Amino acid sequence: MSSLPVNKIVERVTEKIYELEPSLLEKFGERGKERCHEDNHYHMKYLETTYKLDNLKIFTDYALWLNNLLTSRGMKTQHIIDNFNFIQEALFELDNYGDKQVQAYVTYLEEANHILKQQQLKKRG
């Protein structure tokens, strides 16, 4: 994978999600927490692939697919948006925040969240 501390980022994000919304543990159990951890590794892999191929559509398409999958299983779009925000926060905490790759990841996450927010509005409207 990349030179970024992916495991550290994934651990931090998973902790943050369950810290801020402990009801997820009640709703989805320990298996849900494991899936959250796995999902965040996938998020990071898609960010890396998007970066290597220099193609934003890879990550935004992934975000839309993920949204359809997880909302069909009882999650909310806001959970994904929050998750992507937590990844951004973890990236901001890195010593190499000014790195081109990190900056690109932040841009990809922002764009995905923008598209997910548009999806939320369509479903409400």
Angle, helix 77-92 to helix 56-71, in steps of 10 degrees: 140
Read off the tokens for 81: 């948006």
Cα separation, 58 vs 108, in Å, equals 9
Amino acid in position 110: E
Nearest to 66 by CA among 30, 36, 91: 36
pTM here is: 0.91
**Tokens 């320990």, located at residue:** 30
pLDDT score for 37: 95
pLDDT score for 2: 57
Give the angle 37-64-110 at the CA atoms, nearest 5°.
Answer: 75
**Residue 75, pLDDT above cutoff 90:** no
Cα separation, 38 vs 55, in Å, equals 23
Cα separation, 72 vs 67, in Å, equals 8
pLDDT score for 84: 98
pLDDT score for 15: 94
Task: For residue 90, give the 3-state DSSP assignment.
Answer: helix
